[in-house]
Structure 1
């Protein structure tokens, strides 16, 4: 289940809630009871396999098609 970050506009508290994606737009209540909250944008880091850099050859297909680029 995804975790979403929120900030309370009344007390400036930042908090997280786990909820289904289908409820991602639903209002969240601050832990101190305030209802005026806003969902924060968060970033997710996606990584490939350990030690795996970019494919050799570069270009649109890693150099496998002979396009040179």
Structure 2
């Protein structure tokens, strides 16, 4: 289940919420009980898979110049 990061506008607390993607846009209540929160854009979801292999530099067909 994805984790979404929120920040409370009332007290400034940043907190995480685990929820299904179908509920990503739903509001979240601050742990202190405030309702004025905003979902933050985090780089974790934009960076791709953690631990994904990095392709080798050079070599390979089109990276090594063997394609005509």
Same fold (TM over 0.5): yes
Report the Cα offset of residue 66 of structure 1: 1.4
Structure 1 gap segments, 5+ residues each: none
Taking the aligned partners of 1:20 and 1:12, their CA distance within structure 2 comes to: 25
Name the residue aligned to 2:58: 56
Q: Which has the higher helix share?
A: 2
Name the residue aligned to 2:20: 20
Structure 2 gap segments, 5+ residues each: none
TM-score, with length taken from structure 2? 0.74
Aligned residues: 64
Runs of 4+ aligned residues of structure 1 deviating over 6 Å after TM superposition are: none
Give the RMSD, CA atoms, in angstroms.
2.5
TM-score, with length taken from structure 1? 0.73
